[in-house]
């Protein structure tokens, strides 16, 4: 029985370590997910605390999981895991029934589970935890009390450090679809399809043909048919391609996202977050882009008047375009962030807190 209990303890620890780590890696992403929860449940009062919770919840998960995995204060850790599941099990049942939030975010963006699969997973984990608590007499610490707390403290410093790096720069592991090297260009074989519609004069039936395949050279057929209309079947855009628009709403995606010339995107889904300190750093990046003759755009989802106001306030000389805020949050976890692209390929991504230097730009040009 002791061996069974310890195997289950290790498995529970692994789940908690993984769940805590993948969320701690990307605190901005988990903040967005928590805000989804608060909005769905009309808990607006908690929205200002979303970022703090996005740091503390994964840290607690990781520390509990690490303690179980390495057998440090296992009795405290197993009760801590039960407290977690006492909250998340009924929450995921509610989500499974109502689908108030489509993805629970329990594994961040690393693994996506349906709400029902998440609930089933949580039932198994909760049952395992209850079993270990029932047989907790087999949970024995193997180090001195002081040493255990020191190691737990080191694990806490580690996981908070992971979150701090993700907040200051970018996640140490990018679980998002817009990774460096991803090509956003559409399949060249996917092209718009053109059709012509003719009406049979004898039957009144409408007939549709591909524009390059109808019998235009058959005089008998032409005598029996009259032209009605044309139809264009647009080629499907790649799922990852971020649609961009100018201030009039005109689609300029190809010239911004798919330009063959190296392009620097200043990504700011919320331009109000740009302050004096960030604007000075942005100027360094923009100056570098101008020096190396890169296309440069500010890409945002903020209101046009607010964009112009911010650009004027901080004397930022950069053309701006618009895109969906969710897409921009997926593109880079920084506000503002710097994304270098060339011919539709993501070449590099940097936080505004990364130093702007020529080597970074030269790497894009090579």
Query: pLDDT tens digit string along 326-349?
Result: 999 999 999 999 999 999 999 999
CA–CA distance, 356 with 177 (Å, rounded to integer): 25
Q: What SS3 state is found at 226?
A: strand
CB burial of 4-38 (b: ≥16 within 10 Å; e: otherwise) equals: ebbebbebbbebbbbbbbbbbbbbbbbbbbbbbbb
Q: Which of 259, 275, 272, 280 is nearest to 340 (CA)?
A: 259
CA–CA distance, 56 with 62 (Å, rounded to integer): 10
Element holding 100 (H helix, E strand): none
Band of the pLDDT at 233, cuts 50, 70, 90? Answer: confident
Q: Edge-to-edge strands of the sheet including 263-268?
A: 320-322, 295-300, 263-268, 337-342, 345-351
Query: Between 214 and 161, where is the model more confident?
Result: 161
Mean pLDDT over the full length of the chain: 91
The pLDDT, as a whole number, for residue 238 is: 63
Q: Which of 186, 182, 323, 345 is nearest to 266 (CA)?
A: 323
Is a pLDDT exceeding 70 seen at residue 188?
Answer: no
The H-assigned helical ranges of the chain are 2-25, 27-40, 50-70, 74-98, 115-134, 145-168, 219-224, 253-257, 276-291, 304-313, 325-331, 358-365
The pLDDT, as a whole number, for residue 72 is: 93
Taking residues 260-289, report their average pLDDT: 93
The pLDDT, as a whole number, for residue 311 is: 92
DSSP 228: E
CB 58 within 8 A of CB 110: no
Site of tokens 């059709």: 195
Band of the pLDDT at 105, cuts 50, 70, 90? Answer: confident
Band of the pLDDT at 215, cuts 50, 70, 90? Answer: confident
CATH 3.40.30.10 fits 253-365, yes or no: yes
CA–CA distance, 244 with 250 (Å, rounded to integer): 8
CA–CA distance, 168 with 280 (Å, rounded to integer): 17
The pLDDT, as a whole number, for residue 224 is: 87
Task: Report whether the peptide linkage leading into residue 336 is cis, meaning its omega lies within 30 degrees of zero.
Answer: yes
The pLDDT, as a whole number, for residue 79 is: 95
Angle at the Cα of 189 from the Cα atoms of 183 and 195, rounded to 5 degrees: 135
* Cβ neighbourhood burial of 160 (10 Å; 0-12, 13-18, 19+): middle
The pLDDT, as a whole number, for residue 1 is: 85
Taking residues 304-320, report their average pLDDT: 92
Give phi and psi for 268, each to the nearest 5.
-145, 95
Is a pLDDT exceeding 70 seen at residue 75?
Answer: yes
Cα→Cα distances 361→258, 268, 292, 320, 364, Å: 18, 20, 8, 20, 5
CB 170 within 8 A of CB 350: yes
Is a pLDDT exceeding 80 seen at residue 239?
Answer: no
């Amino acid at each position: 029985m002791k061996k069974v209990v310890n195997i289950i303890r290790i498995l529970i620890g692994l789940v908690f370590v993984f769940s805590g780590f993948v969320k701690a890696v990307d605190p901005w992403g988990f903040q967005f997910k928590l805000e989804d929860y608060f909005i769905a449940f009309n808990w607006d009062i908690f929205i200002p605390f979303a970022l703090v919770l996005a740091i503390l919840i994964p840290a607690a998960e990781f520390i509990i999981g690490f303690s179980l995995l390495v057998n440090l204060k296992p009795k405290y850790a197993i009760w801590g895991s039960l407290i977690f599941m006492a909250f998340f099990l009924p929450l995921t049942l509610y989500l499974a029934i109502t689908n108030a939030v489509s993805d629970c975010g329990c594994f961040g963006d690393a693994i996506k589970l349906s709400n029902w699969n998440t609930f089933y997973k949580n039932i198994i984990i909760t049952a395992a935890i209850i079993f270990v608590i029932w047989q907790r007499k087999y949970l024995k610490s193997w180090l001195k009390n002081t040493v255990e707390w020191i190691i737990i403290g080191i694990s806490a410093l580690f996981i908070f450090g992971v979150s701090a790096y993700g907040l200051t720069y970018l996640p140490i592991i990018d679980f998002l679809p817009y990774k460096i090297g991803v090509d956003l260009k559409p399949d060249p074989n996917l092209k718009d399809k053109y059709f012509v519609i003719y009406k049979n004069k004898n039957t009144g039936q409408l007939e549709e043909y591909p524009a390059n395949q109808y019998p235009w050279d058959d005089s008998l057929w032409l005598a029996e048919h009259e032209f009605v209309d044309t139809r264009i079947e647009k080629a499907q855009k790649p799922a990852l391609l971020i649609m961009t628009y100018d201030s009039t709403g005109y689609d300029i995606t190809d010239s911004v996202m798919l330009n063959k010339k190296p392009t620097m995107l200043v990504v700011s889904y919320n331009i109000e977050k740009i302050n004096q300190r960030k604007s000075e750093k942005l100027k360094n990046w923009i100056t570098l882009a101008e020096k190396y003759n890169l296309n440069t755009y500010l890409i945002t989802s903020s209101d046009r008047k607010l964009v112009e106001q911010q650009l004027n306030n901080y004397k930022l000389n950069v053309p701006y375009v618009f895109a969906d805020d969710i897409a921009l949050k997926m593109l880079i976890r920084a506000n503002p962030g710097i994304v270098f692209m060339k011919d539709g390929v993501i070449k590099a991504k940097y936080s505004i807190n990364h130093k702007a230097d020529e080597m970074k730009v030269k790497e894009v040009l090579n």
